[in-house]
Amino acid sequence: MRDARGLGEIAGSAAVWLLVVLACLAIFLPLVLTFYLSVFNEQMIVFPPHGYTLSWYGQIAGKFGAAIWSSLKIALVAVALSLLVGIPAGIGLSRYRFRGREALSTFLLSPLTIPGIAIGLGIYVLAVWIEERTEIVLAGSMRLLILAHVLITMPWVIRLCLASLSNHERTTEEAAASLGANPLMVVWRVTLPAMRPGIVAAALFAFIISFENLEINLFLVSPGVSTLPVAVLQYLGYHIDPLVAAVAVAQIVVVGAALMLLNRFVRLSQVLS
Partner 1 sequence: MAKPRSTTAAASIFLGPATCVVLIMLVSPLALLARYSLDKFDPSELMIEAVTSANYARFFTEAFYYQVMRTTIGVAALVTFLCLLLGLPLAYRLARTTSRWKSAWMLLVILPLFIGSTIRTVGWMILFAKSGMMDTLAATFFRSHVDLMYTPAAVVIGTLSVNLPFMVITLQSVFEGIDTRLEEAAQGLGATPGRAFWRVIWPLSLPGIGIAAILSFILGMNAYATPVLLGGPRFQMMAPLLFWEFNTNSNWPFSAALAFILMATTLLLTTLANSIIPLRYRA
**Residues between 146 and 165 that touch partner 1 (CB under 8 A):** 147-148, 150-151, 154, 158
User: What is the torsional sign of CA 200, 203, 206, 211?
Assistant: negative
Which stretch in 51-59, 163-171, 193-201, 254-262 sits in contact with partner 1 by CB under 8 A? 254-262
**Residues between 98 and 137 that touch partner 1 (CB under 8 A):** 98, 104, 107-108, 110-111, 114-119, 121-123, 125-126, 129
Asked if 60 interacts with partner 1 (CB under 8 A), we say no
The interaxial angle of helices 60-95 and 228-238, nearest 10 deg, is: 140
The single residue among 9, 61, 137, 197 that binds partner 1, judged by CB under 8 A, is 9
Q: Which helix (H) or strand (E) holds 267?
A: none
x/- mask, partner 1, residues 18-57, rule CB under 8 A, reads: -xx-xxx-xxxxxxxxx-xx-------xxx----------
Within 8 A by CB and 6+ apart from 161, the residues are 86, 87, 89, 90, 91, 94, 195, 198, 199, 202
Asked if 206 interacts with partner 1 (CB under 8 A), we say no
Alpha carbon distance 184, 188 (integer Å)? 6
Burial degree of 150 (CB within 10 A; 0-12, 13-18, 19+): buried
Is the Cβ of residue 46 or residue 80 nearer to partner 1 in the bound state? 46
The nearest distance, CB 155 to partner 1, in angstroms, is 9
**Residues between 173 and 202 that touch partner 1 (CB under 8 A):** 183
**Residues between 66 and 85 that touch partner 1 (CB under 8 A):** 84-85
